[in-house]
Amino acid sequence: MKKYFILLVVPFLLLTGCNAGPAEATQQEELEANVMTIHNDAMAKMGDIYKLRRNFRSLRDTLAAQQADTVTLQALQQQIDELNQADEVMMVWMRNYSAPDTLQYEQAMNYLQQELKKIERVQTVMDSTIQAARQTYQQYEQQK
């Protein structure tokens, strides 16, 4: 009787064990795809950062030539610095990210969860910096 039980249980365990692999791979792929989607969305905003930084530099230089007060010039430079920092946050994340191809499932999932949190913070920094820069730029453009 034990023999028959083992013959029935072992194939069942093998089948359920085999099913875990593709499910795990799918979960890992989905999580990695989520990380990369957020990264790609943030990367698309890099153009906004470059454009805003260029606009602020031009505005700063124009106002400096018109001998604007130092408080205004400092505020514009601070905005440029914040845009530089948002840019650098993204560059740091990209330099440090490595696809978890060689990691075991649990390690890969932990790594991707951490990277998801990091890239979400990057996106938040970029979004808030861009929004603040746009508001500031509109304010100074109207005064020009």
| pLDDT at residue 65, as a whole number | 93
| pLDDT at residue 140, as a whole number | 82
Give 28-75 pLDDT, tens digit per residue.
999 999 999 999 999 999 999 999 999 999 999 999 999 989 999 999
| pLDDT at residue 98, as a whole number | 95
Give the chain's count of helices (H) and strands (E): 4, 0
Q: What are the distances in angstroms from CA 109 to CA 21, 47, 94? A: 14, 31, 18
Distance in angstroms (rounded) separating the CA atoms of residues 114 and 116: 5
The DSSP call for residue 67 is T
- Three-state secondary structure call for residue 44: helix
The structure's pTM equals: 0.79
